[in-house]
Structure 1
Amino acid sequence: MKKTALTMAVAAALALVGCTTTSTPSQTTTSTVAEVSQNQDFTDFSAQFIEDMWRQYPEHSLYVGYGKYDHIMTIPNAESRASSVAFSQAKLRELRSFDLNSLSDNQKTDYYLIENSLERRIWEVKKFKDWQWNPSNYNISYGFASILNSRFKSDEDKYKAVLERLKYVPDFYQAAKNNINNPTLEYTQLAIAQNQGAFAILKDDLLDKVDASNVLTANEKALFKTRFVNAKTAVNGYIDFLTQLEKDLTTKGNARSFRIGEELYEEKFAFEIQSGYTAKTMYEKALTDKARVTKEMVKLTDQLWPKYFPNKARPSNDAQAISQLIKHLSVNHVPKEQFVDEIKRQIPLLEKFVIEKDLISLDPEKPLVVRETPEFMRGFAMASISAPGPYDAKENTYYNVEPLELRTEEQASSILREYNHWILQILNIHEAVPGHYTQLVYANKSPSLIKTILRNGAMIEGWAVYTERMMLEEGYGNHEPEMWLMYYKWNLRVICNTILDYAIQVKGISRDEGLDLLMNGAFQERAEAEGKWRRATLSQVQLTSYYSGYREIYDLREKQKEKLGKDFDLKAFHEEFLSFGSAPVKYISQLMQ
């Protein structure tokens, strides 16, 4: 089949030879054949690269639904790290044997994505070294949960894969303990909480189900029980190890700082965001946009003030006036007990609006399930999406929401004011329709598996942020000034994510300064601001992905509008943009133009 495809491609290319007058037919023929051959060679390399990558990193293959290596767990020791570096170096040599100028535009993008991925892995092992100071890297819950939650695997496949994986758990956690050296206190505490969540996956009723099933032999069931007990002992041992470590770090005060500094931050930004801008430039852009958005909020406050405070003078201080109005409006929210139900109720309404406005095609066969965030994933974000990969695209997409019942009344009340009547709708646009859920469904359909697998977080988050404004521009919310005010508040949070992250990691601002930026500069509730501060201590660069991706997507759309004029079609723009998988926006922009 490959030879036939190549022959047909060469024939098609040769048919164009007569159109050129700049070289002789023989020269053009030789050049064209070489180029087509190079294209096919790169296609073959890409396919083999993906297969080799799954063999090298079986956990990653599990997360995208590949299935072939679900029973394997990598032990995170010095040997596996050396193997990862050697693999990356060998693949880089293969990759760089291709002549970039001979590749198609689509293939050039894949080339850059592969190159970035390989260079990043080497950098993470040899320079960033978070395998030493981030204990939350080590958690066996995700793999087991992915297998057991599958809608399409049989019980036999599930239990046999789990049986095999269980044997690795003791060695996995022993390697983790050997790796940890001078960790941050924040990552240590997160690792304790999230590993305790493993018992929500490895719970005793799993043993009962296995014992009652007919898919394992009596010997396999006995082995399952032994390995299950050993795995739980290993998890508990890791938690005990970290608990003692936490005490030592707290009493001695010698924990590593969670701030990584400018050099590492710029390098991590370049690998993760791939925007063409430096982190410092993006930080400066965010400062400019913060001032612009605040001005828009002043205008809306002037418009709405007489409606809500007819007998009260507006404060002369703009920030105070905005804050008072937002606080007044934010009491309009659902009761705590109805929070998750309200999210479920809104999803069909968003789908209806998108369909009626013909903004983008939706796939009714890809289910979205709203659920409480699993215990092993809690403590990082209030809401998130867990989407299937390209190999198991028919699996459920989960909209994870942290339950408010676990919060104090004061915390829950603050969260509800933050996710009030208007902002909860914007959150659902972002996480679900037409945000993350919709984009990730499209990503799984991309003809380039490289662009889907080596996905770019800034494009993914940027798309979700872009859709918030796009929906309001198209009339969602009936152009209510209240909705626009709350949108700008939400957008200001996106902008301040970038400012906060850079300021924490590079400039070293204090917790009080960070909370002041979020609460007084971005009008956030205390619970939200404290949660964001915590999140910023548990990640680097990721918080900048929202703003940087959004800025580039919005700018691209406006350029396309200007270029095409009356021929510009919003739905066509959306669907072409999403057709390139989750590639960095700068590459999608090149392909579209």
Structure 2
Amino acid sequence: MPQLFRPVLIASLLSSFVLAGPVSLAAPVTISKQADQSFALVKTAFLKALWQQDPDTAMSAGRYEDANKLVLPDQASRDAYIAFVDNWLAQTGKLDAEKLSAKEQTDLALIRNYLNGTRWYLTQFREFEWNPSQHNIAGSFDAILNTDFAPKGKRVLVAIQRLQAVPAYYAAAKASIKNPTPEHTRLAIKQSAGAISVLAELEKTASQEKLTAKDKTALDEGLKNARTAVGDYVQFLENLEKKFDPATARSFRIGKDLYEGKFTADIQSSLTAEQTYQRALTAKEEAHNNMEKLADQLWDKTMGAQARPADRVKKIAMVIDKLSEKHVAAKDLYPEIRQQLPQLEKWIREHDLVSLDLKKPLVVRETPEYQRGVTVASIEAPGIFRPNDKTYYNVTPFDGQPAEQIESTLREYNHWVLQILNIHEAIPGHYTQLQHANKSPSVIKTLFGNGAMVEGWAVYSERMMLESGYGGNTPEMWLMYYKWNLRAVCNTILDYQVHVLGMTEVEAKDFLTNQAFQTKAESDGKWLRVQYTSVQLTSYFSGYSEILEFREQLKKQQGDKFKLKQFHEQFLSYGSAPVGMIKKLMLKDALK
């Protein structure tokens, strides 16, 4: 369904699904090359059927053959998707996994994960009923207009065809919504402005092409009807908003049962959500211990003769606050990000950490309006079938923000943290990892990418860069690293406490500012994000802790034979499969 899989932010899209069962990677004596070849045919047939069933998933993978089709978010479409899922669960259920090689076993598991997960989302989670922001045409039109899958004139014609279904799309969206949360309703109203701006972009782009009279009429009528449909949808949501009763409106908190189910579906960890939460609490204490030592080192340099407070959290906060005064001016934010990327590339090459492909374009741009309101920065990467398309590094502009909020944001992304952000989002984080994923021989492992692996690698890459000496091993850089790393740790704590344990807004913001050392602007933004999303915030720490734990395990086992770049290259070669699967495959390969 386009509501489940649409080209959106890395921060909110990439996830895998319910594990179909444990995957045995011990070498079975019955492995058959013929079985692998037969399964290859099954995968081809499955993907062909998937592209037809879900044109938006096809687009996110880089296939635009059916981009002119806008699937309606109605019950008929959902029923058809469930029938598709059940059919392929039955077909793949007939396969004997023990006869497949280890790599094919994991592909089979990932297909079934996707199928089981899709079914759970559509029948149990049912977000299409209570999250109106799921229903937005902007992402798909943006992808059509800004992806060079065909000459611009042809892309305009594809968009015009798709445009004709927009009124029916929003009519179906209104019919699907039942008891929405106030928070998601307000987000949908805000993001709907992005749909209007994308329609304006289509009109502008089309004006530069020579259209037939018939196509021009279809464009004009389509735009008029689409704008009306978006306006009607916004009016519908505004009317709902006026009627919300705080005592009876649906809570954005999803509760323990749905939370554990979604954690299993999305994260695919060997731990439960509660166990991961407990691990994060321990990690927070370890970070505070390290940060106190660094704050003591920096105290005289930053605070002079001022007396050190006995409270360690206050002491750390004071040093961070002083260091945060060093940041770029608002007007220099985008130029500074663009300037830092080549420096990161140079460092990685000189220290031979991981291979890079500089031919793949990386474009720093303002976050499109329809994507704003959730994250400050994100990566929007091309699909596996169009690996040479542009990767967009989206950064939300300061438009309309008061000076105090802008200053707060700039202090959060200060001189040191901005460098770590660029490592995370770009090099060697998301941008680099997704380049490697698109080279994977397994379309399945890349297509059904695991969010915990993707975010976990980005968090791991931050630590790996500092371990290599990036930043000069200064106490300032390491203190800010731990502050940043606390985001991943505290994201997990925050998400679980809010959605399962009922943490209030006041408690959440106090936790973020006084335990995670975040600025007011950052804590305000994170409170919005934890209302709009669930479980995704746990992916950073879950994936990172598993990757780091596995690396240290291999270093201990291999001793002097361990090579960091070799570890990175092999780890990234399996696409965006769950960390646990990658670990098993790498350990199995090591026995050959």
Aligned residues of 1:196 and 1:239 also touching (Cα < 8 A): no
Superposition pairs for residues 526-545 of structure 1, below 5 Å? 526-545=520-539
Aligned counterpart, 2:6: none
| Structure with greater helix percent | 1
Question: Match of 2:38, as an amino acid?
Answer: D
The residue matched to 1:399 in structure 2 has which SS?
strand
Give how far 1:151 is off: 3.3
Aligned counterpart, 1:467: 461
Aligned residues of 1:74 and 1:80 also touching (Cα < 8 A): yes
Question: Match of 2:491, as an amino acid?
Answer: N
Aligned residues of 1:211 and 1:221 also touching (Cα < 8 A): no
Superposition pairs for residues 73-152 of structure 1, below 5 Å? 73-152=70-149
Pairing partner for 1:246 from 212, 220, 241: 241
What is the rounded CA distance, in whole Å, between the counterparts of 2:512 and 2:532 in structure 1?
A: 17
Give how far 1:221 is off: 1.3
Aligned residues of 2:31 and 2:100 also touching (Cα < 8 A): no
Say whether residues 1:210 and 2:186 are aligned partners. Answer: no
Aligned residues of 1:140 and 1:198 also touching (Cα < 8 A): yes
Aligned counterpart, 1:234: 229
Superposition pairs for residues 362-381 of structure 1, below 5 Å? 362-381=356-375
The residue matched to 1:327 in structure 2 has which SS?
helix
Pairing partner for 1:46 from 27, 43, 49: 43
Question: Match of 1:488, as an amino acid?
Answer: Y
- Deviation string, structure 1 residues 187-207 (Cα, Å, up to 9, x no partner): 00111111111121111x643
Aligned pair in 2 of structure 1 residues 334, 209: CA closer, same or farther (>3 Å)? closer
Give how far 1:520 is off: 0.4
What is the rounded CA distance, in whole Å, between the counterparts of 2:369 and 2:118 in structure 1?
A: 28
Aligned counterpart, 2:220: 225
Aligned counterpart, 1:499: 493
Aligned counterpart, 1:28: none
Aligned counterpart, 1:71: 68
Give how far 1:211 is off: 4.3
Superposition pairs for residues 356-505 of structure 1, below 5 Å? 356-505=350-499
What is the rounded CA distance, in whole Å, between the counterparts of 2:39 and 2:202 in structure 1?
A: 45
What is the rounded CA distance, in whole Å, between the counterparts of 1:207 and 1:385 in structure 2?
A: 26
Aligned counterpart, 2:196: 199
Give how far 1:111 is off: 1.5
Aligned residues of 2:381 and 2:390 also touching (Cα < 8 A): yes
What is the rounded CA distance, in whole Å, between the counterparts of 2:475 and 2:255 in structure 1?
A: 41
Give how far 1:254 is off: 3.1
What is the rounded CA distance, in whole Å, between the counterparts of 2:378 and 2:69 in structure 1?
A: 27
Aligned residues of 1:183 and 1:256 also touching (Cα < 8 A): yes
Say whether residues 1:570 and 2:542 are aligned partners. Answer: no
Pairing partner for 1:163 from 157, 160, 163: 160
Aligned counterpart, 1:347: 341
Question: Match of 1:85, as an amino acid?
Answer: I
The residue matched to 2:500 in structure 1 has which SS?
helix
What is the rounded CA distance, in whole Å, between the counterparts of 1:503 and 1:134 in structure 2?
A: 21
What is the rounded CA distance, in whole Å, between the counterparts of 1:377 and 1:206 in structure 2?
A: 17
Structure exhibiting the larger radius of gyration computed from Cα positions: 1
Question: Match of 1:207, as an amino acid?
Answer: E
What is the rounded CA distance, in whole Å, between the counterparts of 2:29 and 2:36 in structure 1?
A: 11
Aligned pair in 2 of structure 1 residues 311, 548: CA closer, same or farther (>3 Å)? same
Aligned residues of 1:81 and 1:125 also touching (Cα < 8 A): yes
Give how far 1:252 is off: 6.2
What is the rounded CA distance, in whole Å, between the counterparts of 2:129 and 2:303 in structure 1?
A: 55
What is the rounded CA distance, in whole Å, between the counterparts of 1:104 and 1:276 in structure 2?
A: 22
Question: Match of 1:76, as an amino acid?
Answer: P
Aligned pair in 2 of structure 1 residues 298, 395: CA closer, same or farther (>3 Å)? same
The residue matched to 1:390 in structure 2 has which SS?
coil
Aligned counterpart, 2:55: 58
Pairing partner for 2:177 from 172, 175, 180: 180
What is the rounded CA distance, in whole Å, between the counterparts of 2:523 and 2:492 in structure 1?
A: 14
Say whether residues 1:288 and 2:285 are aligned partners. Answer: no
Give how far 1:178 is off: 0.3
Aligned counterpart, 1:333: 327
- Deviation string, structure 1 residues 27-71 (Cα, Å, up to 9, x no partner): xxxx98982222111111112111111111111111221111111
Aligned pair in 2 of structure 1 residues 341, 212: CA closer, same or farther (>3 Å)? closer
Question: Match of 1:399, as an amino acid?
Answer: Y
- Deviation string, structure 1 residues 567-586 (Cα, Å, up to 9, x no partner): 11111111110000000000
What is the rounded CA distance, in whole Å, between the counterparts of 2:44 and 2:277 in structure 1?
A: 38
Aligned residues of 1:74 and 1:172 also touching (Cα < 8 A): yes
Give the % identical residues.
48
What is the rounded CA distance, in whole Å, between the counterparts of 2:74 and 2:149 in structure 1?
A: 33
What is the rounded CA distance, in whole Å, between the counterparts of 1:178 and 1:144 in structure 2?
A: 23
What is the rounded CA distance, in whole Å, between the counterparts of 1:186 and 1:363 in structure 2?
A: 41
Aligned counterpart, 1:546: 540
Unaligned runs of 5+ in 2: 1-27, 588-592
The residue matched to 1:139 in structure 2 has which SS?
coil
Question: Match of 1:448, as an amino acid?
Answer: S
- Deviation string, structure 1 residues 243-264 (Cα, Å, up to 9, x no partner): 1111111x56532100111011
TM-score by length of 1: 0.93
What is the rounded CA distance, in whole Å, between the counterparts of 2:96 and 2:310 in structure 1?
A: 63
What is the rounded CA distance, in whole Å, between the counterparts of 2:423 and 2:167 in structure 1?
A: 42
What is the rounded CA distance, in whole Å, between the counterparts of 1:434 and 1:209 in structure 2?
A: 34
What is the rounded CA distance, in whole Å, between the counterparts of 1:384 and 1:456 in structure 2?
A: 17
Question: Over aligned residues, Cα RMSD in angstroms?
Answer: 1.3
Give how far 1:526 is off: 0.9
Aligned residues of 1:38 and 1:98 also touching (Cα < 8 A): no
Question: Match of 2:552, as an amino acid?
Answer: E
What is the rounded CA distance, in whole Å, between the counterparts of 2:547 and 2:572 in structure 1?
A: 11
Aligned residues of 2:71 and 2:169 also touching (Cα < 8 A): yes
Question: Match of 1:127, as an amino acid?
Answer: Q
Question: Match of 1:299, as an amino acid?
Answer: K
What is the rounded CA distance, in whole Å, between the counterparts of 1:334 and 1:367 in structure 2?
A: 25
The residue matched to 1:398 in structure 2 has which SS?
strand
- Deviation string, structure 1 residues 541-568 (Cα, Å, up to 9, x no partner): 0000000000001111111111111111
